[in-house]
Amino acid sequence: MTKQYGGSPEETDLRRADSLAREIFSDVANKWALLIIEGLGERTLRFSALRDEVEGISHKMLTQNLRTLERNGLVERRVYPTVPPRVEYTLTEPGRALRATVDAMCEWTQRHLGHIDASRRRFDA
């Protein structure tokens, strides 16, 4: 992904887009962000229900990752003025599009379980 840019306005735009793409990749290419996207799926869930879906995630990690996903426009957060306030999370269209690649990654994991298990045993021996 190494690229060389000069100093023209077009090149400044290209540099900005490239740096933005790296930031976004960094935000989404992590286990928790991807498991949250997978856990939400097509549904609208409250924080506690979502936490039940994403096994092993801490309150803090879920809060931080939801904030990052919301900032990037992948998750929509809706607050209803009840007492106490009800807060719900849903994937946006770009969030749902990303979910397709997470699904592919989960399928890849299932398909290569045997190969990876055997490779780990050899490596650890």
Report the nearest approach of a second copy to the CB of residue 123 (Å): 4
Task: Supply the minimum distance, in Å, between the C-beta of residue 46 and a second copy.
Answer: 16
Which residue type sits at 79? V
Q: Which of residues 47-106 bind a second copy (CB under 8 A)?
A: 52-56, 70-74, 94, 97-98, 100-101, 104-106
Which of 73, 25, 70 is CA-nearest to residue 50?
70
Number of residues that bind a second copy (CB under 8 A): 49
11 is a site residue for a second copy (CB under 8 A): no
Question: For strand 44-46 and strand 75-80, is the pairing parallel, antiparallel, or unpaired?
Answer: unpaired
